[in-house]
Structures are given as C-alpha cells and as structure tokens.
Amino acid sequence: MATAAWTLHQFQASTELTLFVDTPPQTVDLRCEVDLTQPADGLKIRQHGSVIGNFLAPLLPPVAVDEIAAPATQKESEPTASATSQLDCYVRGADLVITYTLQHRPLRSQFYLRLLQPQQESLRHAGIELIASVQTPLLDSNPIIDIRSIVQTGEILRLTDVQRETYSTPESLQVLDGTSGTGCFLIRLKNADWTYVEMVHPLDFCESLLMPDDQESTQTRLTHRLFAGRLEKGVVLRSRIRGVFVPRQNDCHAAAVEYQAFASSEPPLTT
C-alpha cells in the first residue's frame, strides 16, 4: 500500500489512502481532508469525489480564524500566545499534530492523526489512528471529550468476544460499555467493497453511543466518550482510537485480528 504524507496549508490538511480489496482484486483510493478550524467535522473522507463520512471528530467548538495565529506548514512550530484561543499544528513524519487551547475550556487538547500502513505495528490494513491527550492548569477539572464518526447508514456490528470472533448488532440510543462487549465496531457502508472498523483501545474504552444523524436515518453517528475521570494539574491523560479499512470479504475475522493487534500494541510515542 502506498500512503502519501500529510499536506498542510494554513488550516487545511489532506492525505491519500490506497486500499487493497480482493473481490475482485483492485485498489481503492480514498482522499482524507481536515479543516483544523472545525474540529467537530473530523476527518472528511472521499471516494471518487463523493464524501462517504466524517470520521474521528473531537467534539470541540469551531475556532475563528481571526482568533488564532497561522500554523506552521510542514514542521513543528513554537506555541503562540493568544488572548482568546490557540491552534497549533504541524506535520511530523506520518503524524498530523493539532493542539487546541480554548479560552472557555481550561484544557489543552492535543490530537495526533497518525497514518497507518500494513506491516506497521502488526497491521495488515491501511488506516488512521487518533491519539488524544489532555492537560489542564487547574487543580481539578472535567476532561471529557467525545469523539464522533458520521457514516452512511449500513450494517453496523460490535465485536463482543475477541477470541471467538462473535459479533452483535447494537441498538441505537443505547449506551454501550465494557460490560456488554468491546469498543470495536464494524461498519459496512452501502455500495462499498470494503468495511470500516473503528476501535477504542481497551484500556481507554469508557462507553459508546449509536444514534441516527437525521430524520431519514440515512446517516449514523458513532460517538465514543474519552477521559471520563477527573484531571489534575500536572497530569497528562492519553487515549487512542484506531480506524482501519478492511476488504468486505471475511471482514469479521479481519476486524478481530486488527483489534487484537491494537490491544497488544505499545503506547504511542508522543510529546
């Protein structure tokens, strides 16, 4: 699989992913776009020019361009003081690193969008990993961040038993926690030769929620809650969510294998 590096221009970032599917054997090209001033829009992914979903979006408010300093283009930049909000971003290797410091929210939230390639960290398929971290200058704070993906409504399964590779069909508007299964969800989009698998690392999994995104139920929201505990000054909390794209054929087995690899992977090296 060939993966392009992130391209960063002002507050817009993009990259390309090439997937391999085997029925019939072919490659599928996906374009990934991020508007850094609209964190709740997440990773907009297109196939043949059409948007197929918005993935791995931290539910933070928009940041007005006139409130922040321009980011670096291809290298790490020094933080810039701001009287209101601050957005800092840079590209480092396979990582797009985005840091938000919002005036109304006493948290420094940092997100790595890391491109994943087959044979890297036991991966067999292409994907993107979101590494989220938070810290605060306060003695005590509530660090909760919700991460949401919006996809075209199709078949959605939840991995309930990793060893047996068993799945269930989760119900909408039902809080899903670790008592009833894993934080691994298999999403079969309509008219696609591949399946999207989104998984929260088992050490970070709190709860997830499925719900329709519109009255016609043409889209579905999958939301994961991170950092459910309290946060003290001087402490950095970190969580990981990984999204991978697997061929539709034997996708349940592929998803279980990817989840096991993710669960056993070492904590990421970040700053």
Name the more confident of 241 and 101: 241
Structural domain contains residue 25: no
d(Cα 219, Cα 214) in Å, to the nearest integer?
A: 7
d(Cα 247, Cα 1) in Å, to the nearest integer?
A: 13
What is the phi-psi region of residue 111: left when phi exceeds 0, alpha when psi lies from -120 to 50, beta otherwise? beta
Structural domain contains residue 249: yes
Structural domain contains residue 26: no
Average pLDDT of the residues in 219-232 = 93
User: Is the pLDDT at 59 greater than 60, yes or no?
Assistant: yes
User: Is the pLDDT at 38 greater than 70, yes or no?
Assistant: yes
Structural domain contains residue 51: no
Name the more confident of 203 and 73: 203
DSSP letters of 151-172? EES-EEEEEEETTTTEEE-PPT
What confidence score (pLDDT) does residue 225 get? 97
Structural domain contains residue 32: no
Asked whether the whole model's pTM tops 0.85, one would answer: yes
Name 154's bridge partners.
Answer: none
> Which helix (DSSP H) or strand (DSSP E) does residue 246 occupy?
strand 237-247
Structural domain contains residue 135: yes
Number of Cβ atoms within 10 Å of the Cβ of 132: 21
What confidence score (pLDDT) does residue 177 get? 95
Q: Find out whether 182 and 159 touch, Cβ atoms under 8 Å.
A: yes
Structural domain contains residue 157: yes
User: Is the pLDDT at 70 greater than 80, yes or no?
Assistant: no
Average pLDDT of the residues in 110-135 = 86
Expressed as residue numbers, the domain containing 124 is 67-263
Report the domain count for the chain.
1
Structural domain contains residue 49: no
